[in-house]
Amino acid sequence: MSDENKDFGDKAEDAFDNAKESAKEFSEDAKESAKEFSESAKKTANEFTAGAKEAFSGAGGENKKVLVGILAIIFGSLGVHKFLLGYQKEGFILLGATVIGYITVCFVIGGFILTATAVVGLIEGIIYLTKSDEEFYNTYQVGRKPWF
């Protein structure tokens, strides 16, 4: 029986050594695959970043006009379009008026304030979208005309 136990022990040691070697090979393959994946992910991220920078760097003229016009129509009462154009004072005026309108909405005056800020945003959005690219750029980005 002791010879049999020795044989089992030798077989167990051989199996252990084989398993250990297989695990090392598997871990090396896994490390290599992870490294390749990491490099591929970095490359893809860099390409995406370059594409995003290129897309947003061209956000002058037409792209900014359409973006600001649509935001003025949808979120005009909050002054989002003013902030995008760089008019912080006017943006805070619209935002403040909207907040005051919501605070006083239980009184009748709050409804009028909210309606007025929404109408301002709607009118400005329509004006932005109907201007030509050059006219929009010269009027609102170069000329810095804050209202209408």
Query: What does the pLDDT look like over 41-100, one tens digit per residue?
Result: 677 766 766 665 555 455 444 568 899 999 999 988 999 999 988 889 999 999 999 999
Q: Give the residue from 134, 141, 24 showing the smallest Cα distance to 85.
A: 141
Whole-angstrom distance, CA of residue 98 vs CA of residue 103: 9
pTM over the 0.85 mark: no
Tokens of 106: 């239980």
Q: Three-state DSSP class for 33? A: helix
Domain finish residue from 34, 57, 80: 57
Assess whether 12 and 29 both reside in one domain.
yes
Give tens-digit pLDDT for 93-144: 999 999 999 999 998 899 999 999 999 999 999 999 998 888 888 888 877 7
Question: What pLDDT is stored for residue 133 in this prediction?
Answer: 85
Give the pLDDT score at 121. 93
Q: Which residue has the tokens 């871990």?
A: 27
In a domain, 53, yes or no: yes
Is residue 13 packed enough to be buried (19+ CB in 10 Å), middle (13-18) or exposed (0-12)?
exposed
Distances (CA, A) of 37 to 40, 42, 45, 46, 47: 5, 9, 12, 14, 15
More confident site: 9 or 126: 126
Q: Which of 57, 86, 102 finishes a domain?
A: 57
Q: Which residue has the tokens 């935002």?
A: 95
The verdict on 110 and 66 lying in the same domain is yes
Question: Average of pLDDT values for 4-22?
Answer: 74
**Is 117 among the domain residues?**
yes
CA distances (Å), origin 110, targets 19, 22, 103, 123: 76, 74, 7, 20
Q: If you average pLDDT over residues 4-33, what whole number do you get?
A: 76
- Residue in this structure with the two tokens 């956000």, named with its chain if needed: 59
- Domain with 93, as residue range(s), is 61-142
Inside any domain, residue 32: yes
- Which of 38, 57, 76 marks a domain boundary? 57
Please give the pLDDT value at position 56. Answer: 47
Do 119 and 72 share a structural domain?
A: yes
> Would you say residue 31 lies in a domain?
yes
What is the mean predicted confidence (pLDDT) over 14-21?
Answer: 80
